[in-house]
Amino acid sequence: MGIHQTNIQDIAKICHVSTATVSRALNHKPGVSNSLRSEIIATAKKYGYLPDNHARAMRMGSSTNVCLVVRTGQDVAHLLTMQDFEMFQQTLGMRLSTIYVPYDSDVIGAMVSEENRTSVSLFIIIGWTLVSDSRRFAQVRQPILFVSSDDAPADYAAIVGDDRFGSEQAANALLEAGHRRMLVLTEENSAGLSYFKERIDGVKDAFRHHDLSFGSATIFSVPIDYRSYKASAERFVSRTIIPYLEDVSGVQPTAIAVMSDFLAAALVHELYERGFHVPEQLSVTSFGGWDIANYFPQPITSWVQPIPDLLRATLHAVPLLLSKTDFSGTIALGSMHPNGIEGSARATSSTRFVVSGFMRKGRTVRALA
């Protein structure tokens, strides 16, 4: 799924001005009347303009080096497909280097080494950091932008999804289908740090809005070895979740709300291996809508956090960080979601953009009689 960009030439053509005039207007430089500046800014917002190679070169010069940090493992559970990466690289308009850091290696040490080896203007980390002591990020001299990173330190710039709201909508799909006895699956790292707190809070919101006690739900935090995500997740599901579901002495759950597509993949695989039918016996919802969901036996009902939209917001944030400009307002991302709503990113602070998602209705939720 590629990233289509409205470029500076498009804005110049629409406004019948030169690209230099567009650049001056958007960067509040002299030489443009107030009325024309307002028109250009309004047009850029309307068309979801993000600076392309030419515009960034005019603003930043060609010497800016952005470093993308990618964590790796045996069965890599990361968000970017190769197509996503290639489109991001082509659209960034700056030099992009990439360092690959295995999940069992020190990511901060790798970033410091990269700083010492070459000139880095900004680091971008996508996904988990797996750093238990976030104070260690102070060892990195250059700014860091965290993208969809659940364990990112709170005082750094971040591009995040609307996790709480989205998880609430996914849980609503189960509650509105009549499910009350629910398992909630999240994950934790080897240090015992649980992830996806915002998503769990969203499930609690759904119960509260239905005037139900969250006590009727059971949370399992699945310990994940990120060097081998699939194997460790399936092992826990097989040894713990399946026996829980097979225990006829207890009250059987009718639905499982999973906080990640990667975790849902492990769950669904084990359910089918052990003879559980989805959704006839168990309804399942997930969160992400990521590439791995394409390999499920049937379309899963989930909240979708579009990776291209996260990347578009990242492209918008990079020049702001490099110019030390606060994040502000709501930006159109130039995408259209299946529900007819345009993709957008809203600044909730001077360093945080929240990217909107949408609900995808699959075939994994059964309405109870």
Cα 349 to Cα 135, 157, 311, 324, 330, distances in angstroms: 21, 9, 19, 14, 11
- Residue 249: predicted pLDDT: 75
* Strand-pair partners of 222: 187
Cα 204 to Cα 149, 182, 200, 214, 262, distances in angstroms: 22, 12, 6, 6, 22
CA distance 137 to 245: 41
- Residue 109: predicted pLDDT: 96
Residue 160 — left, alpha, or beta (φ > 0 → left; ψ -120 to 50 → alpha)?
beta
For the whole prediction, is pTM greater than 0.85?
Answer: no
Instruction: Decide: helix, strand or coil at residue 215.
Output: helix
Q: Which amino acid is at 199?
A: R
Are 242 and 270 in contact, with CB atoms under 8 Å apart?
Answer: yes
- Residue 57: predicted pLDDT: 43
CA distance 326 to 317: 9
> 363 — phi, psi (to 5°)?
-125, 35
- Residue 32: predicted pLDDT: 83
Structure tokens at 77: 């559970």
Residue 95, judged by CB atoms within 10 A of its CB (0-12, 13-18, 19+), counts as middle
CA distance 106 to 317: 26
- Residue 82: predicted pLDDT: 67
- List per-residue pLDDT tens for the chain, 369 residues long: 444 557 778 888 899 888 778 877 877 677 788 888 888 888 887 776 755 544 554 455 456 889 999 888 755 445 666 677 777 777 777 788 889 898 889 999 999 999 999 989 999 998 888 888 999 999 999 999 999 998 899 999 999 999 999 999 999 999 999 999 999 999 998 778 788 999 999 999 999 999 998 877 799 999 998 888 889 999 999 999 999 999 867 778 999 999 999 999 999 999 999 999 999 999 999 999 888 888 889 999 999 999 889 999 999 999 999 999 999 999 999 889 999 999 999 999 999 999 999 999 999 999 997
CA distance 86 to 65: 16
Are 180 and 213 in contact, with CB atoms under 8 Å apart?
Answer: no
Class of the domain covering 60-162+307-357: alpha beta
CA distance 147 to 85: 13
**Token match 């360092």: residue?**
99
Class of the domain covering 163-304: alpha beta
CA dihedral 332, 335, 341, 347 (to 10 degrees): -30
Are 322 and 261 in contact, with CB atoms under 8 Å apart?
Answer: no
CA distance 70 to 50: 24
The CATH architecture one would assign to domain 8-49 is: Orthogonal Bundle (1.10)
Closest CA to 69 of 126, 131, 132: 126
Where in the chain do CATH 3.40.50.2300 domains reside?
60-162+307-357, 163-304
> 356 — phi, psi (to 5°)?
-75, 150
**Token match 């026996």: residue?**
243
Where in the chain do CATH 1.10.260.40 domains reside?
8-49
